[in-house]
Chain A
């Protein structure tokens, strides 16, 4: 089968690409880091013997790259699914609301995913089985004074995927949304927390295993579902005093 992974060169994206290639899938991988993309493409081809099309593109530059994704997928066959492990945070996303920063975070974390998913949805509906997978964050469980625009965009994305899942119910398209806790990636490196971090490669294998199942919303690592429930249950009078 053929999957497109948008944001594939590092962290969770790289782990997904590795897991899907190891499971025998051909890939279209997209990232703004051209050198890493080339390296990953070679690695997956040599190690797992899969066909991999690499597209260097920055989603901040608009949706033009989606034509190249469509071309590359067409050369391999036809897309069976898309995964969107992309996103961006910013140190100064703390409620100062610089409009350009909010716009940029919104673009990467929400708009780019929505554009790509809606662009390829008609094509995916024609496939015998197809899947759309997006990734959110536990940071979006409840609004707080840090990662303000990031969390809002991820929450919007979760809402969009919930709607998309509803719209695709009864069709052959699976729509999945993974809410990620702390992961062993560069983003969470140095994070002082007693909460164990998730292994990106184990996540990749899990996503690959369940790619045809109607899993809906999945927390990863799983215990984050409990933590998220607890955070939501904290009364506002207490929550407003919490600093995390």
Chain B
């Protein structure tokens, strides 16, 4: 209600979503454009959206964190042209009801509703079916970037195309994404049917998701990843299709308990361990077998499956979790999976789950995008886990796989350099765009960017 001359800095303890990085940092939360553009001094900055990056991409490196939650307004909506312009702090969960009313949606959405549009752009995230829909940059028609030396710049494919390319998947290092015009797709239905296929091995599942991805809304797998030779790799492939029919507005407004990075880590210990992971995996496997083969879910639950299942993340507690996500080229998937299986069975890490989906995309700069099978492994954070990850890093280098930078707060610069052929290009272009390097984070410092 009252006006003050500038933005107030508040020291805040920020935690990466995986619990791997904790740092006390000064946070600014401008709520007006004039505060955003006057919030400039010699200190480095980094923007923060929902704070759901597993890596510390929105704090650290001595930077002031600029929280963008207040910039969450809809600036324009053109249903006929299927575009919507929103500020970067707009969450996907807020956006969905507005577009769905007009029979439209964002084709690429990660699985949690309070992730912001700015965060999706900075990390160039993917959704349920990157094989068919690509990554988030395919949804971005243009964006407005604020940089203290460049002011507000509107970047599109016709104006500032190289800066746009650098910003989509640029981890917030080119400046603050303030707004973006997003391309929408026809929704085509209000509910999602999910068909379950039981499978026995990882290789069988990889072939099936590749086959299904092109002809369904999504196809992903769940596997028992606990290190037991008899059960390792068994699981299910889930194939989703949109059911034609009306949208249930109540479904989109249904409440859920928001989990934040700090809230996720509230439990002082992890309830996931070898025994609980085995129990969970066995119980899940058996319970799923007795459910109908085809189930139907609301649109919200299908798009944001973790919104009402956040307990999964909370159970990792303060020690945190580790997610290793990697795209393995299709022709090397078999050998990668075989070696991965051997590694897990020999190291016996406290792994909780493994999931796969098919991916298609053009690799470039530091974007997590390529043709292949995207494999995600969740583990409890421990010494055994970190040792396993070091060996997985070597396996990724050996198989020309692409580990996801935003999902791993420990991924070493050496591995990124080896796996991302355009690492040096990204560094070079960033140095040209922003010579004083005004935007930094723990991630950028760790990776030598």
In Å, the complex CA distance between A12 and B1 comes to 5
Q: Give the contacting residue for A180; candidates B1, B3, B75; CB below 8 A.
A: B1
CB distance from B45 to the nearest CB of A (A): 17
Q: Give the contacting residue for B73; candidates A42, A88, A187; CB below 8 A.
A: A42
Q: Give the contacting residue for B32; candidates A7, A9, A12, A47; CB below 8 A.
A: A9
In Å, the complex CA distance between A46 and B102 comes to 11
Asked if B32 and A36 sit within 8 Å, CB to CB, the answer is yes
Q: Which residues of A contact B98 (CB under 8 A)?
A: 46-47
Central interface residue in B4, B30, B31, by most chain A CB within 10 Å: B31
**Residue-wise interface mask of B (25-38) relative to A, using a CB-CB cutoff of 8 A (1 in contact, 0 not):** 00001111111000
Asked if A88 and B9 sit within 8 Å, CB to CB, the answer is no
Asked if A186 and B4 sit within 8 Å, CB to CB, the answer is yes
Q: Which residues of A contact B3 (CB under 8 A)?
A: 87-89
| Residues A105-134 near B (CB distance < 8 A) | none
Q: Which residues of A contact B7 (CB under 8 A)?
A: 186
Asked if A33 and B34 sit within 8 Å, CB to CB, the answer is yes
Chain A CB within 8 A of B10 CB = yes
Asked if A190 and B4 sit within 8 Å, CB to CB, the answer is no
B-side interface residues, number (CB < 8 Å): 24
**Residue-wise interface mask of A (164-190) relative to B, using a CB-CB cutoff of 8 A (1 in contact, 0 not):** 000000000000000010010111011
In Å, the complex CA distance between A150 and B77 comes to 41
**Residue-wise interface mask of B (201-225) relative to A, using a CB-CB cutoff of 8 A (1 in contact, 0 not):** 0000000000000000000000000
Asked if A189 and B8 sit within 8 Å, CB to CB, the answer is yes
In Å, the complex CA distance between A9 and B77 comes to 20
Asked if A10 and B73 sit within 8 Å, CB to CB, the answer is no
With CB as the reference atom, state the residue of chain A lying closest to B179: A39
In Å, the complex CA distance between A36 and B5 comes to 16
Q: Which residues of B contact A185 (CB under 8 A)?
A: 1, 31
Q: Which residues of A contact B5 (CB under 8 A)?
A: 91
Chain A CB within 8 A of B42 CB = no
CB distance from B71 to the nearest CB of A (A): 8
Q: Give the contacting residue for B33; candidates A36, A85, A87, A186; CB below 8 A.
A: A36
Chain A CB within 8 A of B337 CB = no
- Across chains A and B, the number of contacting residue pairs, with CB separation under 8 Å, is 70
Chain A CB within 8 A of B74 CB = yes
Q: A13-B1, A190-B9 are in contact. Are A40 and B73 (CB under 8 A)?
A: yes
Q: Which residues of A contact B74 (CB under 8 A)?
A: 42-43, 46-47
Asked if A39 and B75 sit within 8 Å, CB to CB, the answer is yes
With CB as the reference atom, state the residue of chain A lying closest to B77: A46
In Å, the complex CA distance between A205 and B123 comes to 35
In Å, the complex CA distance between A167 and B30 comes to 41
Asked if A11 and B75 sit within 8 Å, CB to CB, the answer is no
Chain A CB within 8 A of B76 CB = yes
With CB as the reference atom, state the residue of chain A lying closest to B7: A186
| Residues B59-112 near A (CB distance < 8 A) | 70, 73-77, 87, 98
Q: A33-B34, A43-B73, A47-B98 are in contact. Are A186 and B8 (CB under 8 A)?
A: yes
With CB as the reference atom, state the residue of chain A lying closest to B30: A186
Chain A CB within 8 A of B158 CB = no
With CB as the reference atom, state the residue of chain B lying closest to A13: B1
With CB as the reference atom, state the residue of chain B lying closest to A192: B10
Asked if B29 and A186 sit within 8 Å, CB to CB, the answer is yes
Q: A46-B74, A189-B10 are in contact. Are A39 and B87 (CB under 8 A)?
A: yes
CB distance from A58 to the nearest CB of B (A): 10
CB distance from B88 to the nearest CB of A (A): 12
With CB as the reference atom, state the residue of chain A lying closest to B37: A35
Interface residues of B (CB under 8 A from A): 1-5, 7-10, 29-35, 70, 73-77, 87, 98
A-B contact pairs, 26 of them (CB 8 A): A9-B32, A10-B31, A10-B32, A11-B2, A33-B34, A35-B32, A39-B73, A39-B75, A40-B73, A42-B75, A43-B73, A43-B74, A46-B74, A46-B76, A46-B98, A47-B74, A47-B98, A85-B1, A87-B3, A91-B4, A91-B5, A185-B31, A186-B7, A186-B30, A189-B8, A189-B29
For the complex of A and B, the 8 pairs showing the least CB-CB separation, nearest first, are: A43-B73, A190-B10, A35-B33, A12-B1, A39-B73, A89-B2, A46-B74, A10-B31
Interface residues of A (CB under 8 A from B): 7, 9-14, 33, 35-36, 39-40, 42-43, 46-47, 85-89, 91, 135, 150, 180, 183, 185-187, 189-190
Question: Beyond the given A13-B1, A190-B10, could you list 7 further A-B residue pairs with CB under 8 A, ordered by the A residue number?
Answer: A11-B31, A33-B34, A36-B32, A36-B33, A39-B87, A43-B75, A87-B1
